[in-house]
Amino acid sequence: MKCPFCKSNNTEVVDSREVMNGEGIRRRRECEECGRRFTTYEKVDLADITVIKRSGAREPFDRNKVLSGIMKACEKRNISRETMDGVTDRIEAKIRASGTKEIKSMRIGDMVVRELLTLDPVAYIRFASVYKNFESPEEFRKYVLLLGKKRKPR
């Protein structure tokens, strides 16, 4: 593994541990040239799953796109990156468990909405407003009312 700081190929693994419920490995590495440490992750590649967009375009599944949408919805909320990674992990695991080679982007969006519904009401409304393309205050009102009915008390 090449050092991201000095670009040396002489790096050593100093610690490894399982992450994502055993479906990935986190490795701490140290560069033998500059002595700096960095972290790498190893996980199953889901590139063989194709996402079908609303337009009909097809593209490889990208976990980072799912995480990015969740992070935008959770912005300035008291939700840790670890929690957002966990939501993304659950969605990715559901897709993988389905055994499908193709999945509609709307189905992924529905999975995100369901996860956010139980996680945080503001993040849920933010994501739903973009995902469902709200165009009026009435649409926001509908989802806020739905939130009140479906959200489980903590």
What tens digit of pLDDT does each residue of 65-112 get?
999 999 999 999 999 999 999 999 899 989 988 888 999 999 999 999
Same-domain pairing of 33 and 52: no
Same-domain pairing of 35 and 103: no
Same-domain pairing of 93 and 129: yes
Same-domain pairing of 74 and 101: yes
Same-domain pairing of 91 and 50: yes
Q: What is the average pLDDT across 31-51?
A: 86
Say which residues have a Cβ less than 8 Å from residue 75's Cβ, sequence separation at least 6. Answer: 126
Q: What is the average pLDDT across 47-65?
A: 91
Same-domain pairing of 32 and 49: no
Q: Whole domain around residue 34: which residue ranges? A: 1-43
* pLDDT value of residue 36: 97
Structure confidence at residue 151 as a pLDDT band (50, 70, 90): low
Structure confidence at residue 154 as a pLDDT band (50, 70, 90): very low
Same-domain pairing of 76 and 107: yes
- For residue 150, pLDDT over 70 is answered with no
Same-domain pairing of 52 and 123: yes
Same-domain pairing of 21 and 86: no
Q: Angle at Cα 94 formed by Cα 90 and Cα 95, nearest 5°?
A: 120
- For residue 45, pLDDT over 70 is answered with no
- For residue 46, pLDDT over 90 is answered with no
Q: For CA atoms 131, 135, 136, 139, give the dihedral sign.
A: negative
Structure confidence by residue, pLDDT tens digits, 2-20: 999 999 999 999 999 888 6
- For residue 39, pLDDT over 60 is answered with yes
Same-domain pairing of 36 and 69: no
Q: Please give the tally of structural domains in the chain.
A: 2
Same-domain pairing of 18 and 55: no
Same-domain pairing of 39 and 51: no
Q: Angle at Cα 153 formed by Cα 136 and Cα 79, nearest 5°?
A: 70
